[in-house]
Amino acid sequence: MSETEKIVLNVQQEMKRGTLVLAVLTQTDEAQYGYSLIQALTEMGMPIEQNTLYPLMRRLEKQGLLDSIWQVEENRPRRYYKISELGRDVRAVLIEEWQTLEATMSGLIGGVK
């Protein structure tokens, strides 16, 4: 792997990491368990590894942005996560910030070749 490829990969990972909270908050209006959330995000073009998602979901729950409950389905316990009221408020602010950032970056990128 060339030095350029290494740098690009690193920056891509940083950009993705910065968007994962918002991505998760957009997909948890309905209760989701980890694997279903991985599938939903992957289908929408944002693949995420289990070892990235599960700690993130626990952190978001600890911050009060997600609520969770255990349910047993087919003799299998699963932890379901759903956005909390605080999470909805934070999501709304993050969406506004995203839209501002997107408009700014589009303007900045527009002149670059």
Q: How confident is the model at residue 82 (pLDDT cuts 50, 70, 90)?
A: very high
CATH fold of the domain at 3-110: Arc Repressor Mutant, subunit A (1.10.10)
pLDDT at 73 over 80: no
Mean pLDDT of the 19-45 span: 95
Write down the pLDDT at residue 17: 86
Percent of the chain with pLDDT over 90: 82
Helix orientation angle between 50-62 and 3-26, rounded to the nearest 10 degrees: 50
70: Cα separation from own chain's centroid: 21
pLDDT at 111 over 90: no
Where exactly are the structural domains of the chain? 3-110
Average pLDDT, the chain: 93
Verdict on whether the full-model pTM lies above 0.95? no
Q: What is the 3-state secondary structure (H, E, C) of the chain?
A: CCHHHHHHHHHHHHHHHHHHHHHHHHCCCCCEEHHHHHHHHHHCCCCCCHHHHHHHHHHHHHCCCEEEEEEEECCEEEEEEEECHHHHHHHHHHHHHHHHHHHHHHHHHHCCC
At 2-19, the pLDDT tens digits run: 999 999 999 998 988 889
